[in-house]
Homo-oligomer: A and B are copies of this chain.
Amino acid sequence: MAAYERSVASVGVIAFLAGTLPGLWPGAYRTATVACLVVALLFCLQYIVRLLRESRRLEWMVTGYAIIDLLAAVPVPLALIVGAPDDVARLFGIFWSLKLIRMNAAFALLARVLHNERQSLVSVTTAFFVVLLFAATIAFVLERSDQPEAFGSVPAALWWAVTTITTTGYGDKIPMTFAGRTLAGLVMVSGIGLFALWAGILATGFAQELRRRDFLESWDLVVRLPLFRNLGSSALAEIARLLKVQKCQHGAVIVRQGQPGDSMFFIAEGEVEVRAAAARIRLRQGQFFGEMALISGDPRNATVVALGPARLLRLDVIDFRDLAARQPELLELIKAENARRVSPR
């Protein structure tokens, strides 16, 4: 469904972009308009279907998702109905591009980080806005007599200040006096500081959120594994903190024979096949593989391939040793399980 939506949206955006190019032959504009209309109607249909399926319609209609759906569906046909010319109506196709981002999973993480750090980000931005105002005012005072067109008002100087503090540097307005250039240098360096402050704030925010998200993801899966059923809540939390979720498609090679072994895997969902020289073994949810290479330090002695989509929990060697030292009962569990079957490494 997501792929279908994204394809339709892409077609729509391309039609919308192409439709604004001057100098195309007349048929092309008509084709673009038709394509835009078809895309809009498909999104109309989708909106109606979704609305009918929902039980709480009014609540759904005010969610962000539904508003984007509505923006993708209504404006283009509406503009044509109220009699706007073709080329104006097509412009509303820009809303289809919103369909390209909203289904993205990692986007929620981004939004959370920006939300968490909004205070600091706004503070930095406000401070730099004040720097901008001062820079523009001083540049206006310094340069207005030499360049009355470029620096003839503080708002005009503000345009120079913005292009300079962001280090864009169009070059349409350049201070000429020595004092003006010294000021410009300071403004440029402040711009670098703006970059750096934002980057610093966001780096800190990302580290926190990623740690949190990884834990939540793996916790969900860890509690369902029978292997860990008898461990206490403390041990479970520690394991969930160390395991990383790894998704793989059908046929994906998880472990390759002969390569150094730097992690072991628990199967949270799906099945995998161990392809050793001697035999092929199937492993199911709750089982694990790759632990021998961690214990012995030898290279992998089998290739492991996913059968159908699977979700694995990866335990890196660094964390395996850590865990083995602090949770000896887990190591015992793994060894006991290992003894029960001919373990593929």
For A176-211 the 0/1 string (1 means CB < 8 A from B) is 001001001100110111111111111111110011
Give which listed residue, B21, B171, B203, B321, contacts A204 with CB less than 8 A.
B203
6 tightest A-B contacts by CB? Answer: A234-B325, A200-B202, A168-B169, A237-B321, A196-B198, A166-B188
Contact of A223 with B by CB under 8 A: yes
Contacts A110-B120, A219-B317; is A168 near B188 (CB within 8 Å)? yes
Pull 17 A–B residue pairs with CB atoms less than 8 Å apart, ordered by A: A97-B129, A97-B130, A101-B123, A101-B126, A159-B185, A162-B188, A171-B172, A192-B195, A196-B201, A199-B202, A203-B207, A212-B316, A223-B297, A232-B325, A234-B324, A234-B325, A237-B318
Report which residue of A21, A110, A163, A240 has the largest number of chain B beta carbons within 10 angstroms of its beta carbon.
Answer: A163
CA distance A91 to B164 in the complex (A): 21
Identify the closest chain B residue to A200 (Cβ): B202
| 20 other A-B residue contacts (CB within 8 Å) besides A106-B119, A219-B318, A240-B321 | A17-B154, A17-B155, A17-B158, A20-B153, A22-B152, A104-B123, A106-B120, A106-B122, A107-B123, A110-B120, A125-B189, A162-B184, A163-B188, A192-B194, A192-B198, A200-B204, A201-B206, A219-B321, A223-B297, A233-B321
Q: Assess whether B162 is in contact with A20, with CB atoms less than 8 Å apart.
A: no
**How big is chain A's contact interface, by range?**
35 or more
Whether B137 lies near A94 (C-beta < 8 A) is yes
Are the C-beta atoms of A326 and B110 separated by less than 8 Å? no
| Interface check A241, CB cutoff 8 A | yes
How many of these chains are in the complex?
4
Interface flags, A28-65, vs B, CB<8A=1, else 0:
00000000000000000000000000000000000000
User: 8 Å CB contacts to B: which residues of A108-134?
Assistant: 109-110, 113, 119-120, 122-127, 129-130, 133-134
A330 part of interface (Cβ distance < 8 Å): no
Residues of chain B lying within 8 A (CB to CB) of residue A212: 316, 318
A170 at interface, CB cutoff 8 A: yes
* CB closest residue in chain B, given A295: B233
Across the interface, do A196 and B202 meet the contact criterion of CB distance under 8 Å?
Answer: yes
A236 on the B face (CB < 8 A): yes
